Chains A and B, each alone.
Chain A
């Protein structure tokens, strides 16, 4: 399966701290995306990183990609209570254009 695996499954931090989530996948990819899902809602696209990129920033988000290790990390700096959500990585196959989602990391930011 192309599905990624996020680690940890659950993470609880204090507001203001940084949160790091990791994603590992099995086969070669073209692109990797990170999504956020608030409870009971649809998924929101956060950032896309291509296989030839190593790092990407968007506001308080920093994503890294190590294709040699088939892994990615999402760093949220200076976390806020509003960042409480589940975070998913999604990977494509290098021959297709469908994205496959991992199992997610549930982040709780305590005010």
Chain B
């Protein structure tokens, strides 16, 4: 079984620029999550999708972050404009049922300079 695919693996941008991350979950996994992991901290949930609908985006900074999962499969997370404090690893995870045995991708390491 293929894992959760994420791209790019690394990204370096200047502050105020825009950036987008892509995630392709495991086939058949209805639930998709985006997490932000700042160095030295645990992952923080940003948004949860069930198929193509948003279940929870209460911790997503909506003034600059947006995410979509239009066809209920792959998903993109965008930051516009980026700030220095957005430097982190952005992790995508998927699961068959919400909350059970997540499978994580390798993440995208974002550095904002």
Contact = CB atoms under 8 A, between A and B. Distances in A.
A103 interface: yes
Contacts of A101: 35, 42-44
Interface string B78-113: 000000000000010100011111111111010000
A42 interface: yes
Contact of A42 (B42, B91, B97): B91
B99 A42 contact: no
Contacts, number: 60
Contacts of A31: 99-100
Interface residues on A, range: 20 to 34
Interface stretch (A12-20, A52-60, A69-77, A90-98): A90-98
A81 interface: no
A100 B43 CA distance: 8
Interface in A1-35: 3, 30-31, 33, 35
Contacts of A33: 101-102
Contacts of B102: 33, 35, 43, 45, 99
B67 to A, nearest CB: 15
A45 B101 contact: yes
18 contacts: A31-B99, A31-B100, A33-B101, A41-B107, A42-B104, A42-B106, A43-B43, A45-B101, A45-B102, A45-B104, A97-B98, A97-B99, A98-B45, A98-B56, A99-B99, A101-B44, A103-B41, A104-B42
Interface of B: 4, 31, 33, 35, 41-45, 48, 55-56, 91, 93, 97-107, 109
